[in-house]
């Protein structure tokens, strides 16, 4: 039996359209907010259809030396073309990107996860340094 951690897939985002890309500066000044985005399909667009789409992304911050990560936020994407006339008829589609912002006094790692309704769970990470 696979554990959940074994089902989280990762890859190079430039070659794999499911990877949640963390767009963030490499460092933030102490006391200032770090703004970042989590986007799926940055290099290779992911399908965005009723039958195949990205449902959500989430982000966590793991400060150096901390036992556990902290969840920063999550965003659901709920419009995938479904309409009263059937799949892919509404012409309304959400694009899988989320903007978030955190403040931290400790450097650490942003972890992001995403979920495709066909291809499962994906993850990525980005190191963040804190400048004094
Ligand atoms: Fe997919």
Q: Which domains does the chain have, with CATH numbers?
A: 4-131 (2.60.40.730)
Q: Alpha-carbon distance 98 to 90, whole Å?
A: 22
Mean pLDDT, rounded, for 95-124: 97
Query: What is residue 13's predicted lDDT score, i.e. its pLDDT?
Result: 87
Who contacts 64 (Cβ-Cβ below 8 Å, separation ≥6)? 106, 107, 108
pLDDT exceeds cutoff 90 at 61? yes
pLDDT recorded at residue 15: 87
Could you say which DSSP state residue 45 is in? P
**Cα angle, residue 51 at apex, residues 47 and 53 outer, rounded to 5°:** 40
- Confidence band for 81, pLDDT divided at 50, 70 and 90: very high
pLDDT in tens, 1-11: 999 999 999 99
Task: Specify the pTM.
Answer: 0.94
By annotation, the residues acting in catalysis are 16-18, 46, 52, 116, 119
CA distance 72 to 62: 10
- What is the Å distance from ligand 1's center to 101 Cα? 27
Q: How far is the CA of 63 from the centre of ligand 1 (A)?
A: 31
* pLDDT for 46 beyond 90: yes
Statement: residue 132 has pLDDT above 90: no
How far apart are the CA of 117 and the centre of ligand 1, in A? 7
């Amino acid at each position: 039996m696979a554990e959940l951690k074994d089902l989280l897939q990762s890859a190079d985002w430039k070659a794999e359209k499911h990877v949640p890309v963390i767009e963030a500066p490499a460092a933030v000044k102490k006391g200032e907010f770090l703004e970042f985005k989590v986007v799926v399909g940055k290099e290779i667009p992911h399908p965005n259809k009723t039958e195949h789409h990205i449902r959500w992304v989430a982000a966590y911050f793991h400060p150096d030396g901390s036992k556990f990560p902290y969840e920063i936020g999550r965003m659901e994407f709920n419009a995938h073309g479904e309409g009263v006339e059937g799949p892919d008829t509404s012409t309304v589609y959400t694009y899988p990107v989320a903007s978030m912002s955190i403040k931290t006094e400790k450097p650490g790692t942003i972890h992001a996860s995403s979920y495709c309704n066909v291809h499962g769970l994906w993850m990525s990470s980005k190191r963040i340094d804190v400048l004094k």
